[in-house]
Chains A and B, each alone.
Chain A
Amino acid sequence: MSIPSIVEAARALREGSITSVGLARQVLYRIAMVEAQLHAFLTVDTDGLMAGAEEADQAFAEGRDIGPLQGIPIALKDNLTTRNLETTAGSKILSGYVPPYDATVVKRLRQAGALIVGKTNLDEFAMGSSTENSAFGPTRNPWNTDRVPGGSSGGSAAAVAAGMSLGGLGSDTGGSIRQPASLCGVVGVKPTYGTVSRYGLIAFASSLDQIGPITHTVADAVLLLEVIGAPDPLDSTSYPHEMEPVGARLGRGLEGIRVGVASQLGGAEAVEPDVEAAFFQMVSAMERAGATTLEVDLPSTEQGLSAYYLIAPAECSANLARFDGVRYGLRVNGDTTEQMMSRSRADGFGPEVTRRVLLGTFALSAGYHEAFYGQAQKVRTLIREDLARAYRQCDVLVSPTSPTTAFRLGDRTDNPLAMYMSDVLTIPSNLAGHPAANIPIGLDRHDLPIGFQVMAPALEEALMFQVASAVEELAGFDTTVPFDPSHGLRGGVR
């Protein structure tokens, strides 16, 4: 029995053809079958899920309908705080931490009736592109368990791809939703910066972080984003105005849409041949479907990776300063406050986090601030200007989401720079604050999913989804992970 999409499930629940308890059981069955192989979750809230499902069925029976997600199981990346449910951000320093409050997005999901399946694995504090940096062990790719699911939202992407949840939330700082969605063959969306509240998202890099949906279909992503995206008085960076409903232009096709292909992105050297071929095949298909396509020049985007690897560590060095063993989390004792803090942090942070905190601290320190952080923020402006210029010629930009398909576990762990290259195509949208989506379009020669990225100007989610859903239709990609109950998932781990 295949797991329905959120839109299908929501309709079926209201028609009475399925029950929420049935959905929850189906999800828990999947978890029982494949979670041991995948390790997509850090916490599965079985009791909460079942209790919520019973309540939802009760509500449906009584004709109460509190919101579009009533009775739908959703998985949350473990850097979203959940009241009374352990939240670790994948870090030893927060092992056992139980927050006293819900993130705004969690509140909004609950208000819309969603059920929380559990908390998904991630690279520690969302720093990474493979979910191998989790303090609690890596997650594996459901398409091939020898491979990484991407990261940092690898747990959510794997959970959704493997049917362990109908949808999930991730966070995207440099590609952390789109890249794992690409590697796991699902839809992943990074909305415009500010359109989804960050209150309760454990910050990595505040000016880049955005929460977004990971789902099987574009329509599901639209539905989740409609629920979580709203102005929030608790996040002063949240966009306070009404915007065009994100699903307003679904189904309008590609007629008259001007699609830009950036030479720097589409033809980047590091893009694998299968990825490149699938990408250009899709661009041609879009042309045939009525879009006009053109090449655009984004000269500064090449420096995006460098700017990103200065800005994100700098912000993270301050954001992670609060983990000091005083009020919550891990404490390693010492004779003085300073010693206690230094030991707790050294012991509590993994190597990638330690590296970025050191990098960021240095980039901000006296004498280097202007040359590093200051310059990076100016380069960021140049990239925004590049994109603004491009959007005078075209409506959306497209590129592969990731230069490669899922790589093997351990392949890049010893080479931080190579790992960082995974984000080269996704980073520009974060630097500019623009929305971007991954849509799975096919498989490579190893049967690994290939993702296609649609980028749009700030606040143009409706346009982005219009194009994304047309791409989804053109690709006709089946997001269901091949799963043989007698053999489980493909790959080396059984």
Chain B
Amino acid sequence: MWTVFCEPWAGRVTKQTPVNLPSVSVEIDIAHVARLARLDLSEEDLDTYGRQCQELLEHVARIQAIDTTGISSTSHPLPLTNRFREDEVTTESGLGRQDVLDQAPDTEGPYFRVPPALEED
């Protein structure tokens, strides 16, 4: 039902050929990254994710070639600063004990319960 129109505008736009930034090779120790992210993955999964992340990173890593000297980082899309609350106790957002523990996978009395930690932080 749709026919391609050749409206005057179509010819007026410059077709851009993508800028070819050099590709960058990236080495990922995927097992280490998975450990940092607390993801218990099988060897096979690590392999797959490792390859996919590598491929994606090598694509996005091309932005390293862009000259950003003297460019500051974007921290917030709007120029807002100093958003604070006053030091007041507000109970409206507080939760009742049942609300707090209701969704917990494991509790003991008024506490959340977890398996033992191996180390202190």
Taking Cβ atoms with an 8 Å cutoff, the residues of A that contact B are 97-98, 100-101, 192-194, 207, 233-234, 236-237, 239-240, 261, 263-264, 266-269, 273-274, 276-278, 280-281, 283-284, 287, 293, 295, 300, 302-303, 305-307, 309-310, 317, 321, 324-331, 333-343, 345-346, 349, 354-355, 357-359, 361-363, 365, 371-372, 374-382, 384, 416-417, 431-434, 442-445, 447, 458-459
Contacts and interface: CB of A to CB of B under 8 A. Distances in A.
Contacts of A337: 114-118
B2 A345 contact: no
A203 B24 CA distance: 31
21 contacts: A100-B100, A192-B78, A264-B16, A280-B5, A280-B7, A280-B10, A283-B7, A306-B60, A306-B62, A327-B112, A329-B103, A336-B115, A339-B115, A342-B39, A342-B40, A363-B57, A372-B61, A375-B63, A381-B68, A416-B56, A445-B2
B96 to A, nearest CB: 8
B4 interface: yes
Interface of B: 1-10, 12-19, 21, 28, 30, 33-41, 45, 49, 52-53, 55-57, 59-64, 66, 68, 71-78, 80, 83-85, 93, 95, 99-100, 102-106, 112, 114-118
A328 B2 CA distance: 51
B74 A384 contact: yes
Given A342-B39, A355-B52, A381-B72, A336 B77 contact: no
B16 A268 contact: yes
Q: Which of B40, B60, B73, B117 has the most CB of A within 10 A?
A: B60
Contacts of A302: 16, 18-19
B95 to A, nearest CB: 6
Nearest to B77: A433
Given A336-B116, A354-B49, A382-B68, A443 B83 contact: no
Contacts, number: 238
Contact of A331 (B10, B28, B41, B105): B105
Given A306-B59, A327-B103, 8 more contacts: A277-B5, A278-B2, A306-B60, A309-B60, A326-B104, A336-B116, A362-B53, A380-B74
Given A193-B77, A375-B63, A100 B99 contact: yes
Nearest to A305: B60
Nearest to A293: B9
Contact of A379 (B16, B34, B66, B105): B66
Contacts of B53: 355, 358-359, 362
B83 A354 contact: no
A10 to B, nearest CB: 30
A222 B112 CA distance: 44
Contact of B28 (A192, A261, A362): A362
B117 A379 contact: no
A327 B114 CA distance: 9
A354 B115 contact: no
A193 B78 contact: yes
A365 B63 contact: no
Contacts of A377: 73-75
Given A234-B93, A377-B73, A443-B2, A326 B14 contact: no
A278 B4 CA distance: 8
Contacts of B72: 378, 381
B63 A379 contact: yes
Nearest to B3: A277
A346 B39 contact: yes
Nearest to A320: B37
A459 B61 CA distance: 32
Contact of A340 (B41, B60, B83, B114): B114
Given A280-B5, A375-B64, A361 B14 contact: no
Contacts of A276: 10
B56 A331 contact: no
A442 B2 contact: yes
Contact of A361 (B10, B33, B45, B83): B33
Contacts of A194: 77-78, 80
Leading 10 A-B pairs by shortest Cβ distance: A433-B77, A342-B40, A331-B105, A377-B73, A328-B103, A236-B83, A100-B99, A378-B68, A306-B60, A193-B77
Nearest to A208: B77
B55 A263 contact: no
